[in-house]
Structure 1
Amino acid sequence: MPLNTRRHFLIGAASAMAMQRSLKAQSKPTTRLRFAVIGINHEHIFRMVKALRDGGGELAMIYDPYPDPTHGTQFLKENLSVKRARAEREVLNAPDIQLVVSAALPSKRAQLGIRTMRAGKDFLADKGGFLNLEDLEEARRVQAETKRIFAISYNERLLLPVSLKIDELLRAGAIGKVTHMWGYGPHGLYGHGPREPWFWLRAARGGILNDIGAHQADQFIHYLGADGARVLGSYAGNFENPDHTEFEDFGRVWFQSAGGTGESMLSYTKAKTTGFQLHLYGTEGRLEVFKSSGRISLVKPDGSRREFTVPSSTPCPWGTHLVDDILHRTETAMPQSHTFLASELAVRAHMVAVK
Structure 2
Amino acid sequence: MSLSFVCLGLDHRHIYGMAENMIRIGARPLGYWTEGDPETLAGFAKRFPDMPRIAHLEDALALGADLALVSAIPADRAALSITAMQAGHDVMTDKPGCTTLDQLDEIKACVATTGRIWSINFSERFEVPCVTLADALVAAGEIGSVVHTTGLGPHRLNRATRPDWFFERERYGGILTDIASHQIDQFLHFTGSTSAEIAMSHVANHANPDDPGLQDLGEIALRSDHASGYIRVDWYTPDALPNWGDGRLTLLGTKGFIELRKYVDLATGAGTDTLILSNGTRAEAIDARDAGLPYFERLADDITHRTETAMTQAHCFEVMRLALIAQEMAER
Normalising by structure 2, what TM-score? 0.92
Whole-Å separation in 2 of the counterparts to 1:114 and 1:274: 32
1:117 aligns with 2:85: yes
Question: What do residues 193-214 of structure 1 show as CA deviations (whole Å, max 9, x unaligned)?
Answer: 6111111101210110000111
Shift of residue 93 of structure 1? 2.5
Map 1:17-96 to 2 at 5 A. Answer: 31-68=1-38, 70-94=39-63, 96=64
1:209 aligns with 2:176: yes
Q: Which residue of 2 aligns with 1:343?
A: 320
Question: What do residues 40-93 of structure 1 show as CA deviations (whole Å, max 9, x unaligned)?
Answer: 01111110001111222111111111421x311221233332232221111222
Shift of residue 301 of structure 1? 6.4
Identity across matched positions, percent: 32
Whole-Å separation in 1 of the counterparts to 2:54 and 2:69: 14
Given candidates 302, 313, 324, the residue that maps to 2:301 is 324
Shift of residue 315 of structure 1? 3.1
Given candidates 218, 221, 227, the residue that maps to 2:185 is 218
1:132 aligns with 2:109: no
Question: What do residues 213-259 of structure 1 show as CA deviations (whole Å, max 9, x unaligned)?
Answer: 11011101101133341211200001111111110010000111123
Shift of residue 296 of structure 1? 1.7
Q: Which residue of 2 aligns with 1:280?
A: 251
Map 1:100-249 to 2 at 5 A. Answer: 100-190=68-158, 194-249=161-216
Whole-Å separation in 1 of the counterparts to 2:197 and 2:66: 34
Shift of residue 274 of structure 1? 5.4
Whole-Å separation in 2 of the counterparts to 1:151 and 1:288: 26
Q: Could you tell which deviates more after superposition, 339-348 or 153-162?
A: 339-348
Q: Which residue of 2 aligns with 1:98?
A: 66
Shift of residue 270 of structure 1? 5.1
Contact kept, 8 Å, 2:222 with 2:228, in 1: the verdict is yes
Q: Could you tell which deviates more after superposition, 269-278 or 146-155?
A: 269-278
Over 4 Å off, 4+ runs: none
Given candidates 271, 281, 290, the residue that maps to 2:261 is 290
Whole-Å separation in 2 of the counterparts to 1:325 and 1:104: 24
Query: Do the aligned partners of residues 245 and 110 (structure 1) sit closer, same or farther apart at CA in structure 2, a change above 3 Å counting?
Result: same
Query: Do the aligned partners of residues 183 and 243 (structure 1) sit closer, same or farther apart at CA in structure 2, a change above 3 Å counting?
Result: same
Contact kept, 8 Å, 1:213 with 1:346, in 2: the verdict is yes
Question: What do residues 65-122 of structure 1 show as CA deviations (whole Å, max 9, x unaligned)?
Answer: 1421x3112212333322322211112223x311111111001101111111111111
Q: Which amino acid aligns with 1:174?
A: E
Q: Could you tell which deviates more after superposition, 222-231 or 177-186?
A: 222-231
Contact kept, 8 Å, 2:188 with 2:195, in 1: the verdict is no
Q: Which residue of 2 aligns with 1:16?
A: none
**Higher RCO (CA 8 Å, separation ≥ 6 residues):** 1
Question: What do residues 111-156 of structure 1 show as CA deviations (whole Å, max 9, x unaligned)?
Answer: 1111111111111110011110000011011101111011111000
Query: Do the aligned partners of residues 234 and 332 (structure 1) sit closer, same or farther apart at CA in structure 2, a change above 3 Å counting?
Result: same
Given candidates 250, 255, 280, the residue that maps to 2:217 is 250
Please list every run of 5 or more consecutive structure 1 residues that lacks an aligned counterpart in the other structure. Answer: 1-30
Whole-Å separation in 2 of the counterparts to 1:35 and 1:228: 31
RMSD over aligned Cα atoms: 1.8
Shift of residue 32 of structure 1? 2.1
Q: Which amino acid aligns with 2:181?
A: A
Shift of residue 332 of structure 1? 1.2
Whole-Å separation in 2 of the counterparts to 1:274 and 1:83: 33
Q: How many residues align?
A: 320
Shift of residue 354 of structure 1? 5.1
Given candidates 277, 282, 285, the residue that maps to 1:307 is 285
Contact kept, 8 Å, 1:186 with 1:274, in 2: the verdict is yes
SS of 1:269's partner is coil
